[in-house]
Structure 1
């Protein structure tokens, strides 16, 4: 398992970049001629476990799990169990559906949090490697070295100030998932927002049906607690559930739409924010969707446990200057 440590400081000069790769103190002069440069650190693929040690991100991720578990408890023990006596099929079906959506949402959260978003190996921009690659690049191309993490930055990669790494096709850093959203985990991030939105909509629907049944059949709201909680506790729990569901339904719906738009237009949030000029080929929105979710289109698009099957692009492609 690779553990990212956002608190560590990375060198910013070519000599210090070389020291990171060699494991020696910072130097300012190039090594003697004929000295063989060590290879760059191995790349952690999307199948490796990735975890970001950011305090705020870990707290936000834990809060997301607590909110999902809170909704599960209130829906099952306040909305469904009291109604299971008269309509057991209603409680069973809705309970299974709500629990299934909660499971898929949390599974997507784990996948987007523990998947390498597409980081570039750090400390690889040594003078020897830069010199060797400068001979191999095509005319009109330029090698970009990140001064913050000392990596050779591929095309469309950006440096994350939280992860302290360059991320390929970085969209943004989300504290709710304690990770960057990049080319390797964007599918799981979209699924996470989709399932949380569906979970919130289902909770609001069950809450609405519960209120209607209580006011029409009994005419007395105090009798709708089902004996599990007092009247005051029931009202507080349902009010918090309503507020949470409305908030996250709107929040996740907006993010879901913006993410789908970003995928279809093949332009990340960072690229739109920086108003970067497009230097890559335009493709159809459907092709971009398959590039993120996998090819061909199948039910696996909705399953958070599958890795998208898409062609790998070379990491050494650079912007044309």
Structure 2
């Protein structure tokens, strides 16, 4: 329900104000992911296949066939996870300005000579501006209310990695997802 301001005007309830509370979940989520990895490691290595290595024979060979790929996948999982957590997703450089072609819309394939009639009907593309950062925004750039900044090619803010998924860490995020689903 909107709250009343002193002047009597109703103020809208700002849901994004509570997004900053997600920052506090950061270390808890990292510990939770590491806990899941640790429990899986305990179940696979220490209780099942680790003791089978010392039995000898076929059981030892089978345990080795499981443990070598398991450890390779574990290394890939942890590397990709910490890469997506620690890599900056990409932000707008403070001196970024759109090129003249972007301002006029010349990069759009519909703006060729054969589409002159369509071009006259279409409004000129306008340069986007972030009201929260007070700066120009490139295409596919969005403001993250949790991080408090504009992120290039932002996909989403992931609470599991305590970071935005953007232009510079998207491949690490996909590697983490693939290796986590194979690992789990």
State the TM-score bracket (shorter-chain normalisation).
0.5 to 0.7
CA distance in 2, matches of 1:95, 1:114: 28
1:195-239 C-alpha deviation (Å, 9 max, x unpaired)? 011111xxxxxxxxxxxxxxxxxxxxxxxxxxxxxxxxxxxxxxx
Instruction: Say which of 58, 64, 88 aligns to 2:60.
Output: 88
Instruction: Say which of 74, 77, 82 aligns to 2:46.
Output: 77
CA distance in 2, matches of 1:192, 1:81: 25
| Superposed CA RMSD | 2.4
Write the mapping of 1:1-321 to structure 2, written as runs, cut at 5 A: 54-84=23-53, 85-86=55-56, 87-121=59-93, 124=94, 136=100, 138-139=103-104, 140-200=124-184
CA distance in 2, matches of 1:159, 1:145: 10
* Change beyond 3 A, Cα 1:60–1:148: same
Task: Report how many residues are paired.
Answer: 140
CA distance in 1, matches of 2:176, 2:98: 41
| TM-score of the two chains, using structure 2 as the length reference | 0.68
CA distance in 1, matches of 2:65, 2:168: 35
1:21-54 C-alpha deviation (Å, 9 max, x unpaired)? xxxxxxxxxxxxxxxxxxxxxxxxxxxxxxxx92
Q: Secondary structure at the match of 1:54?
A: helix
Q: Secondary structure at the match of 1:177?
A: coil
CA distance in 1, matches of 2:180, 2:98: 47
2:98–2:138 CA contact under 8 A, matched in 1: no
* Displacement after TM superposition at 1:135 (Å): 9.9
CA distance in 2, matches of 1:150, 1:61: 32
Q: Secondary structure at the match of 1:73?
A: helix
* Change beyond 3 A, Cα 1:135–1:154: closer
1:72–1:99 CA contact under 8 A, matched in 2: no
| TM-score of the two chains, using structure 1 as the length reference | 0.40
2:157–2:164 CA contact under 8 A, matched in 1: yes
Q: Secondary structure at the match of 1:138?
A: helix
* Displacement after TM superposition at 1:95 (Å): 1.4
* Change beyond 3 A, Cα 1:93–1:134: closer
Q: Secondary structure at the match of 1:152?
A: strand
